[in-house]
Structure 1
Amino acid sequence: MTRSVFCKKYQQEMEGLARPPYPGPRGQEVFDNVSRQAWEEWLQHQTRLINEKHLNMMDADARKYLAEQMDKFFSGDDYDKAEGYVPEKS
């Protein structure tokens, strides 16, 4: 059985994650308030940001930047896009 959450990105009840994506309060906050669909979209966007901006995940500033972008992504604020990304045509 799937669990539902009120997704803060889409502002509606949607399927939630099966477990918190990482430990601690931040992971629990994502688990409680972000849908599986929004999380998967974030992971794809995060990968594009890391690749396009050549982020080193060993760098604390890069991790802080991604955390800020994740908050903006889920809250509907204006977030950074990967400059070279062109979506595939379906």
Structure 2
Amino acid sequence: MSRQVFCRKYQKELEGLDFAPFPGAKGLEFFENVSKQAWQEWLKHQTTLINEKRLNVFEADAKKFLEVQREKFFNNDDSLEKAEGLKPE
């Protein structure tokens, strides 16, 4: 049986991640409080932001921008950046 977590994005019990998405306390926090579904949606949104905004993920400013956007995404913050070229389905 899969591991269940109370997903902070969807505010309900869902299947949890198989492992922490990155090392350290922040990775553990996501492992314990973010569903697999929400994480996959974030990865898709993050990729769109990287491509649309032509971010270099090795630059500190880009990393910080993505960290802020990730928090907004999982907290359902209305000020989350949308990609300009993205057309709603």
Regarding TM over 0.5, the answer is yes
Does the residue aligned with 2:14 lie in a helix, a strand or coil? strand
Cα distance in 2 between the residues matched to 1:50 and 1:26: 21
Alignment partners' CA distance in 2, 1:20 and 1:62: 22
Matched positions, count: 88
Q: Which runs of 5+ in 1 are unaligned?
A: none
Amino acid aligned to 1:32: E
- Do structure 1's residue 45 and structure 2's residue 45 form an aligned pair? yes
In structure 1, give the amino acid aligned to 2:83.
Answer: A
Alignment root-mean-square deviation, CA: 0.9
Tell me how far 1:51 sits from its aligned partner: 0.2
Q: Which blocks of at least 5 consecutive residues in structure 2 are unaligned?
A: none
What is the aligned partner in structure 1 of residue 36 from structure 2? 36
Scaled by the length of structure 1, what TM-score is found? 0.94
* 1:4 has 2:4 as partner: yes
Quote the sequence identity (%). 61
1:7-86 superposed matches below 5 A: 7-78=7-78, 79-86=80-87
The separation in 2 between residues aligned to 1:16 and 1:87, in whole angstroms, is: 27
Q: Output the TM-score relative to the length of structure 2.
A: 0.95
4+ aligned runs moved over 3 Å, structure 1: none
Rounded to whole Å, the distance in 2 between the matches of 1:25 and 1:67 is: 14
